[in-house]
Structure 1
Amino acid sequence: MSVKSTYTEHELVTLLKSNNRGAFEYLYDHYSSALYGIILKITKDEDRAADVMQDAFLKIWRNIQSYNSEKGTLFTWILNIARNTAIDKLRMEVKMEHVLKLDTVTDGQLISASVFNPMPATLDLRSIVENLLPERKVLIDLVYFQGYTHEEVSENLNLPLGTVKSRIRKALQELRSIFAVQSGELAFA
């Protein structure tokens, strides 16, 4: 199918939602320069902007089904995706700059309070988490073992943020009942 020279927004959205390759090429050809300009203003680096641009279009492609014309225009929707992707990239880089590298810490800088000594009963925590309901287990793994934020989990799993938070809260309540934490000591319930 050849790519049309123009589409109405409704036609374009319909084709995009049916995963029409020509429509995605049209979208990229007609919107990428505007999005790149916004991304570049945020990231202030051409290589980073190019990476963000690719990530943004992947998100657009993966999430086009969630676009709702009643909430705004297609351009506004893709602009928000590009903008948020650029901001997320910068936030991630800032977080990575603040990560302490172990080889920069000398033995003299370590104190006994900073050394992690896990209690024997918690060593098999992952296997205990495996016994949670599947929708809770996945969220605990993503948030506590892999380090994702609640917002990132919500976006990646296409779940409402409130649902993510309530499922995590229920999972933590279930884990608390398993471990019955009292006065800083671990006691089995």
Structure 2
Amino acid sequence: MQQDELIAQLQSGNQKAFERIYQLYSKSIYGIIYNIVRDEKVSEEILQDVFLKIWNNASSYDHDKGRFFTWILNIARNASIDKRRSRDFNDNRLNLKSDHFVDILEARSNISGKMDAIGLQKYIDILGPVCKKLIDLLFFKGFTQKESAEELQIPLGTVKTKNRICIDKLRANVLR
């Protein structure tokens, strides 16, 4: 079944199409969610919420505005960031045991191997080190632009400009 046909069936409420979309995309989406929240249980909950949103809002997807995977990715990314910024999530993070701190510190600094959750590694490898780090912070770790500016120790305006330039470079690499 072609992707356009599958999406059309999803939009008409076909449960089998939804199940197939879950099979195709759940692992990639889980990888994105996990890279932002860094908690398996919370990631699984968010994944279920994301697919519930996909099911409930399938009619709002418009292929003229972008790719289906991008639409799903944005739902997952936004849900993950919302969860990460929630008071409940932050309160739970304050109560972590000391054996988790090493993983948290490692997650904030290591970008190798984390970006391939959706198959972008080969395209990101072409970019320069600043773009790699900025894309990792903004899109894979869920940092805000302000947090990224603080992490990279550069002005917020520079982060915004570099983000736009890096995304344009990444888009050009993908569409080649």
Task: Give the TM-score of the pair, scaled to structure 2.
Answer: 0.49
Larger Rg: 1
Task: Give the TM-score of the pair, scaled to structure 1.
Answer: 0.46
Structure whose residues are more often helix by fraction: 2
Greater length-normalized contact order (CA 8 Å, ≥ 6 residues apart): 2
